[in-house]
Amino acid sequence: MRNDRWMTTDEVAQLVGVTRQTVARWCRQGRIAARAIESGPRVIYRIRYSAFVDFVRRYIHDAE
């Protein structure tokens, strides 16, 4: 099922037209629900497709 798919910050960034760093900041701020995964000294984020859709509905669509 598509809603179970996990997305990278790169994928989300390309879809909304921002940088990967911006998406990571949104994840840290809690604006978009994500799972943080420690990778050495870095943290990478994975976003469920359904969380991405919720984010778009809240932040992108409401801005129009």
Q: Is the pLDDT of residue 48 over 70?
A: yes
With CA atoms as reference, report the closest residue to 49 among 35, 30, 28, 64: 35
Largest CA distance in the chain: 39
Q: Is the pLDDT of residue 39 over 80?
A: yes
With CA atoms as reference, report the closest residue to 24 among 45, 39, 47: 45
Model confidence, pTM: 0.84
Q: Is the pLDDT of residue 53 over 60?
A: yes
